[in-house]
Amino acid sequence: MKIIIDTTKNIIPRIIIGTIFILVLMGIIAYARGYRFNIDERTISSTGILSVTSDPKPASVFLDKELVGATDENLTLPYGQYTIEVRKEGYTSWRKNISLKGEIVMSLNAILFSKNPSLTPLTNLGVNVVLPIENTDKLVLVSQTGDAEKDGIYLFEPSNRPAVIFPPLKLLLTAALLPIDVDMVTATADFAPNHRQSILTFIREDETTISYLIALDQENTELVDVTSSRDNIVAAWQEEKETEIVKIIETLPPELEKIASDSFRIIALSPDEKKVMYIAQEDATLPLVIDPPLIGANQTPEERSVQAGTMYIYDKKEDKNFRLPIDPLNQATVIWYPTSDYVAVQEDNNIVMIQYDGSNKEIVYAGPYDPAFFGISPDWNLIVVINLNPKLNKYGDLYSVGIR
């Protein structure tokens, strides 16, 4: 009898301690997974964690119009619908509607643009024409100002290094090499797939055209006239580029390859190669590839029924398809932003940034510039042609517009 009593005395405390330990451990696990006890309602509900970052930082974070903290802080919130806004003095605001789920960590990154952009000159030679080298950040510049020492064709390659006033340009050919009856301002360009060569085509005084093959990595001291063979060379280059387009389509999920091949006109991959910008050439419906959606995927409503003539961005990683709210007349001016989160477009002589899912559309530059061209440099700023003093200067020059 005594043995039984002694055993009971030893086991019962251990059971109590073990039970307490298990309950505490379960509480810790539940807390870590986002469950919280509501004292007022005396209930336990699941919560989610919202991680909000910004560039630049820090910035204020508003939850349903109430200030709740700053970036980069994690917010533990009950599951539900929220409107998140990120603000910073002197910058555009960022806004997103989300549905936060329990036990889930949702990450949001807000890119903010300066409301007071700065201007930095990049050239000092007089720029008549800018010819972007397709999906690169390099530019071919035409300068015909009457200055025999400066007039010519130049290569400009932006740098992400600290700005240098009037960085050196690479001279591709001097105006003196061209026939006297060639108007350089009429220059158009076709580029080889490797972007090492270009065919420049000019209009002569008799309104006929003449074309020259030039190298883009060195000064051309002699001209190679390819007027008679231009069409054949350009067709061969285009065939190579079509091969690259096929390679892009092959990176899409197998379920979309046939539709993309028949219905997409691919514009460009994003810099991180995870998103595809395209124009639908005919109506089509994209099948779901990832169902249910990935946890933490972009919650902006997508459009899987595409319409001919409309521009879209397909996110290969998340299997999401978003329509860009862009007038078809402006589709030729859409450029990927280096972060792969935004695109830039011209609208009503303004330069606008739009998040890749069609949200957060903001005017980032409404100042003077030549609407015939705008670009984006590796340092995330705009490049435009401006003539800030037309009473003294007949021609504009390249400027960097600091929007970050």
Beta strand 105-111 pairing with 43-55? parallel
For residue 117, being part of any structural domain is answered with no
DSSP codes, 219-276: --SS-EE-TTTHHHHHHHHHHHHHHHHHHHHHTS-HHHHHHHHHHEEEEEE-TTSSEE
**What's the helix, strand, coil split of the chain in %, to 5?**
20, 40, 40
Tens digits of per-residue pLDDT, 186-245?
999 999 999 999 999 999 999 999 999 999 999 999 999 999 999 999 999 999 999 999
Mean pLDDT is lowest, of 58-72, 162-176, 352-366, for 162-176
Are 53 and 67 within one domain?
Answer: yes
Return the closest-CA partner of residue 186 out of 170, 167, 200: 200
Are 46 and 15 within one domain?
Answer: no
pTM recorded for the entire structure: 0.85
Q: How far apart are CA 178 and CA 190, in angstroms?
A: 18
DSSP 293: P
In this predicted structure, what is the pLDDT of residue 31? 52
For residue 61, being part of any structural domain is answered with yes
Tens digits of per-residue pLDDT, 341-397?
999 999 999 999 999 999 999 999 999 999 999 999 888 999 999 999 998 889 999
Helix H or strand E segment including 343: strand 342-347
Mean pLDDT is lowest, of 78-92, 116-130, 149-163, for 149-163
Tens digits of per-residue pLDDT, 99-138?
988 778 889 999 999 999 999 999 999 999 999 999 888 9
For residue 309, being part of any structural domain is answered with no
In this predicted structure, what is the pLDDT of residue 24? 47
DSSP codes, 15-84: HHHHHHHHHHHHHHHHHHTTEEEETTTTEEEEEEEEEEEEESS--EEEETTEEEEESSEEEEEESEEEEE
Helix H or strand E segment including 98: strand 94-100
Are 53 and 106 within one domain?
Answer: yes
Helix H or strand E segment including 5: helix 2-32
User: Which alpha helices (H) appear in 274-379, and where do they start and end?
Assistant: none
Paired residues of 398 in beta bridges? 385
Q: How far apart are CA 265 and CA 250, in angstroms?
A: 14
For residue 127, being part of any structural domain is answered with no
Q: How far apart are CA 378 and CA 402, in angstroms?
A: 12
For residue 63, being part of any structural domain is answered with yes
Over 60: is that where the pLDDT of 38 sits?
A: no
Note down the domain range covering 26: 1-32
Name the domain count of the chain.
2
Domain end, chosen from 111, 145, 173, is at 111
Structure tokens at 277: 């910008």
Are 28 and 47 within one domain?
Answer: no
Are 47 and 1 within one domain?
Answer: no
In this predicted structure, what is the pLDDT of residue 30? 47
Are 41 and 104 within one domain?
Answer: yes
For residue 366, being part of any structural domain is answered with no
Are 93 and 52 within one domain?
Answer: yes
Residue with tokens 């606008």: 352
Domain end, chosen from 82, 111, 140, is at 111
Contact 106, 100 (CB under 8 A): yes
Are 104 and 43 within one domain?
Answer: yes
Domain end, chosen from 111, 146, 170, is at 111
Torsion-angle region of 15 (φ positive above 0: left; ψ -120 to 50: alpha; else: beta): alpha
Tens digits of per-residue pLDDT, 256-293?
999 999 999 999 999 999 999 999 999 999 999 999 99
For residue 357, being part of any structural domain is answered with no
Here the CATH number for the domain that contains residue 61 is 2.60.40.1120
Are 88 and 67 within one domain?
Answer: yes
For residue 278, being part of any structural domain is answered with no
Contact 78, 60 (CB under 8 A): no
